Amino acid sequence: MPANPAPAPAEPRVEASADVAADVRMGPGSRVWHLAQVREGAVLGEGCVVGRGAYVGIGVQVGARCKIQNYALVYEPARLADGVFVGPAAVLTNDHRPRAVAPDLSAKSAADWEPVGVDLREGASVGANATCVAPVVVGRWAMVAAGSVVTRDVPDFALVAGNPARRLGWVGRSGSRLVAAEDGWTCPDTGERFHEVDGVLVEGVRA
């Protein structure tokens, strides 16, 4: 008997109160919830969720299966790789010298500054009310604790917290803290093994 055919990918869905620009590209199964805004030229990969009241800036690139939670602000030119989580009310900034006016108190325009972005790598998580001050990179599967302020790059698999955020330990792909072993680190959920080289976590057992 032939196997059942795979179901067709769900169409993207935009709630009526959301504001999504006409040229936004949304992958299958993505959903934009109430009162969210997704600006011109943004790209959402397959299976993304943009929560209520969230903001995604002009040209922001979002990979597949990302979650941008309620009232999060993702300013351009941020880049989110696959599987990224941005928690409720988290902010990815884009101006490292913010001013409303020039030194003579004349209003600044878009031409008066060059935006800089936050880069969230595969599987990274930014907790609720955290702020990433551009330009910074949050590494693969790293985790930024709720309420933290990130002012410098975060290594892969690092757990950071505080203001400014500092590394407290390492986490695995499941989000659990890694457990120290005789020859490195182990994820208690998946059994994955890691070792540390000059402050950087490397996958696998030390050679």
How confident is the model over 73-110, as pLDDT tens digits? 999 999 999 999 999 999 999 998 888 998 999 998 87
Co-location of 87 and 116 in the same domain: yes
Co-location of 85 and 56 in the same domain: yes
Co-location of 115 and 193 in the same domain: no
Name the CA dihedral angle for 204, 181, 169, 189, rounded to a multiple of 10 degrees.
70
Q: Kindly report the CA angle at 119 between 114 and 125, in degrees rounded to 5? A: 140
pLDDT value of residue 112: 81
Nearest to 194 by CA among 137, 126, 120, 140: 140
Low-confidence ranges of the chain (pLDDT < 50): 1
Co-location of 144 and 206 in the same domain: no
Co-location of 115 and 188 in the same domain: no
Enter the pTM of the model.
0.92
Buried-state track 165-177, b at ≥16 Cβ within 10 A, e below 16 = beeeebbbbeeeb
Q: Does residue 6 belong to any structural domain of this protein? A: no
Residue 112 has phi, psi (to 5 degrees) of -90, 0
Tokens (6 digits) for 52: 């209520």
Q: Count how many domains the chain has.
A: 2
Nearest to 141 by CA among 125, 129, 128: 125
Residue 193 has phi, psi (to 5 degrees) of -115, 145
Q: Does residue 5 belong to any structural domain of this protein? A: no
- Give the integer Cα–Cα distance in Å for 149 and 112: 26
Co-location of 36 and 114 in the same domain: yes
